[in-house]
Amino acid sequence: MKVLSIQSAVAYGHVGNSAAVFPLQRIGVEVMPVYTVNFSNHTGYGAWRGPMISPDDVSAVIAGIEDRGAFPQIDVVLSGYQGGEGIADVILDTVARVKAANPDAVYACDPVMGNAVSGCFVAPAIPVLLRERVVPAADIITPNQFELGFLTGTEPGDLASTLDSVDAARAMGPRTVLVTSVARPERPTGTIEMLAVDDTGAWIVRTPHIPMKANGSGDVTAALFTAHYRRTADAADALARTTSSVFDLLTRTHASGERELQLVESQESYAHPRMQFTVERVR
């Protein structure tokens, strides 16, 4: 499998491509990372150095990949955080060209906007751009519950309303939706859930909630789920594998006391997930 991943990159720590590439490689996926920024560290620190890469330069890198004749071999185009409006045009154009070269290719979009605690943390134009142009072009999306609500103009809360919101998202274009960080009120205290839905059904998985903020964990989740799902077309299996790997990554990170993901130290969790959580069919 080959993935063209258009995301940010940092030298210190793990977010964007700096979080997604290694786990994908560790499960045997060939990744072509294209950077949208090249920062010293993620912006959550409040200070960083390095350039935001212009859409023209991002496009030029992708054109160079196309010149090598790689597009017919690309199975997945993956995108995450979009720092500026112009990058969406580059991504959408790339998706169209890759799919023209390989009609079996899919586009997986992590529509990064914010979360229920901090609200939206992207430029005001980005959520509208994602909702109106980017998400409709995607085959797979991986929003959290807050982002799902914004995309669909709904308020997902319990399982029934979250499934309704997923159906509204799927009506926009993407056939497969992974909802990360589902916090329905009926779940047991101290737990968190993820929900995966495609044309064949809907599945939920519950894990203990690890009390930490982990920048980059969503990027790892989106990358692993997309790769597993593209490989098997089995949403329940992809959900189980991804949940196992990410839970063990977060557990190791929390135990370390470090702020950054213990990405390399957790590599066996990607290659050989323990499959320790039960996935329940809910539809």
* pLDDT at 179 (0 to 100): 98
Indicate the number of domains in the chain.
1
CB atoms within 10 A of CB 76: 25
| pLDDT (average), residues 46-56 | 95
pLDDT averaged over the chain? 94
User: Is pLDDT above 70 for 121?
Assistant: no
Q: Radius of gyration (Cα) for the chain, nearest Å?
A: 17
pLDDT in tens, 14-50: 999 999 999 999 999 999 999 999 999 998 899 999 9
pLDDT in tens, 223-252: 999 999 999 999 999 999 999 999 999 999
What is the pTM assigned to this prediction?
Answer: 0.96
The C-alpha atoms of residue 27 and residue 31 are separated, in whole angstroms, by: 11
| pLDDT (average), residues 170-180 | 97
- CATH number of residue 111's parent domain: 3.40.1190.20
- Host domain of residue 53: 2-281
User: Is pLDDT above 80 for 271?
Assistant: yes
DSSP H or E run through 9: strand 2-10
Kindly write down the DSSP assignment for every residue of 55-81, as one continuous string.
HHHHHHHHHHHHHTT-GGG--EEEE--
